[in-house]
Structures are given as structure tokens and as C-alpha cells.
Amino acid sequence: MDLAYLRAHPTQLPTFLAHQRIRETPVTGGSICAASRLTLDDGHSILTKSWPQRSGEPTPEGFFAAEAAGLHWLGEAEAVPVPEVLVALPDLLALAWVETGEPTPEAAERFGRDLARLHRAGAPAFGARWSGYIGALPQDNTEQDGPWSTWFAGRRLDPYLRLSVANGALTSTETALVEAVIERIGEFGGDEPPARIHGDLWPGNLLWGADGRVWLIDPAAHGGHRETDLAQLALFGGAAHGDRIMGAYQDEWPLAAGWRARVPLHQLHLLLVHTALFGAEYRAAVAAAARAALSAGRP
């Protein structure tokens, strides 16, 4: 099997894998999927992702279709590069391999400009036309005209707050803080039309390529607020050369007044996803973000 054959016959990939007709090397680092690097007969490499067999559960319905749809949609903007989707099957996703490189200030600045161009490509509504996932959790992408604050509270904060309460990750203290943010969300300002966003843009979902560019991987893409992507980039240690990214972004498309005060509000979504997925380890981070959002909001 070579790359041209794979593009013409994508559904044949599982058969070749089952009969061990392709050299396969496991790839480490993913927290949800099992990943492998496949070397084709023409020397090209591809990345495959599958639901881990150790989970004992079937692949969630539409899981890989959501990632494929998000990558296609982000790529249509021709702004930030994304891996080519070669195969999108219910139980298997195959992407073009991207050689990794080192983070550089030059790549960071180009990424900042490109990210602004991606966001500016826009979206027809908040949400997306496909069912979504973030990590292993479903994400409600039902399209809505807005305003952004109402949509964000109902589709991105409240569902993961409820999951985090149900699994015992949050106590009544943190729950009350997040509920106060949801209740007051219209006071914080910053409403904008929907931007074309990655949606899960923590630093681990940036791939610094050997070509000197930053690639986007593992999206939860949808029409959302551009400040959400930028706030997520600052989480979990922050992106390499984050100041260069932000400076270039601001040069390309300046953010609205008060954006710094809204960073914790935008980070709260992904932090609640983490308490819903991983439990109380992220409880303190949720509380800190909620308190910061409330203290920065208008009285």
C-alpha cells in the first residue's frame, strides 16, 4: 500500500493492518486514543488513531468523524496548517504524518498571525454542523445565533459543571462559584460574532513542525469566541514563546478592551472538562478561575 492507493481506497486500511501488511510503530503521548506511525511502501508515513482496546468500550459514535470534520473545517481557512485527513472510519482515523521540530520565536510569531487569520474566517453560528467531542466527552455543538455569553454558559460551562458534580470532583463550594459565573456571565462583556476556533487549544495541541510552522492537532472545532483559544494557550504551563504568539496576534487583529480580565472566564470551560474527565485533581484550578472571573467582572 502506498499513499496514492490509500487515498483511492481508504476503507482498505483496516484490512492491511489486520494482515500486518504495513509496518506499524506505536506512538506515545496521547491520553485518550491509541496512536501508531505507519510506514507505507513508498516511504510515506501516516498517523493512525483508534479507540484503545484496553478501555473495554466501543468507539463512541461519531468520535473520529468529529475530529475529521473539525480538521477539514479549520483547513478550509488556509491559515494555520492542519494534518491532511486520509481515512475517517467509525473506528479509525488516519492523518498525514507531520515531522516535528523545535519551538522557535519565528514560528511562534507566524502562528500568532495565522491564528488571527483562522479566527477571522468566522463561522455561521456558535457551535457546528457536526456533533462534537472534547477529549473523550461529547460536546453539544447545536448551532445558535448567540449572544456568545448565553451560548457559552449553556453549552460550554453548565454541562461540564453538572458532570463534575456528578462524579464528585467538585464540592458545593466550587459549584456555587461556577454557578455564580454562569448567572453573571452577561456582565463580563466581550461578546463578539462567532470565530472559527480550534476549541481545545491547550499547548499540547500545538505541533511545532520541522517546516518552521505550528500545526493544529486534536481539535474540538466550532464557532466560538476567539478569546477562548487564546486563553487556553496559557493553561498548563503555557505555550512556548507565548508572548511572541500574543504579540503577533494583536498586531494582526487586536483583541477587544478588557480581554485580559476575561482570560479566567474562557479558561473555565476547559478546566471543567478536566474535572469531568479526571476528577478532583483540577478542583482548585476550577475554583481559582471562577473566583478570578467573578472578581474581574463588573459589579
Domain locations along the chain: 3-96, 105-296
Judge residue 216's burial from the number of C-beta atoms within 10 Å of its C-beta, 0-12 exposed, 13-18 middle, 19 or more buried.
Answer: buried
pLDDT band with cut points at 50, 70 and 90 for residue 298: low
Mean pLDDT, the chain, rounded, equals: 95
Average pLDDT over residues 21-43: 86
What is the reported pLDDT for 54? Answer: 66
Whether residue 299 is predicted with pLDDT greater than 60 in this model: the reply is: no
Which residue stretches of 146-214 are H helix? 148-152, 158-166, 172-184
- Cα–Cα distance measured from residue 93 to residue 212, given in angstroms and rounded to the nearest whole number: 25
What is the reported pLDDT for 28? Answer: 81
Whether residue 29 is predicted with pLDDT greater than 80 in this model: the reply is: no
Topology of domain 3-96 in CATH is Phosphorylase Kinase; domain 1 (3.30.200)
Total number of residues shown for the chain: 299
DSSP state of 137: E
Which CATH architecture does the domain made up of 105-296 adopt?
A: Alpha-Beta Complex (3.90)
- Cα–Cα distance measured from residue 248 to residue 31, given in angstroms and rounded to the nearest whole number: 31
What is the reported pLDDT for 234? Answer: 98
Average pLDDT over residues 32-36: 91
Q: String of b and e for 251-275 (b: at least 16 CB within 10 Å)?
A: ebeebeeebebbbbbbbbbbbbbbb
Average pLDDT over residues 57-81: 97
pLDDT band with cut points at 50, 70 and 90 for residue 56: confident
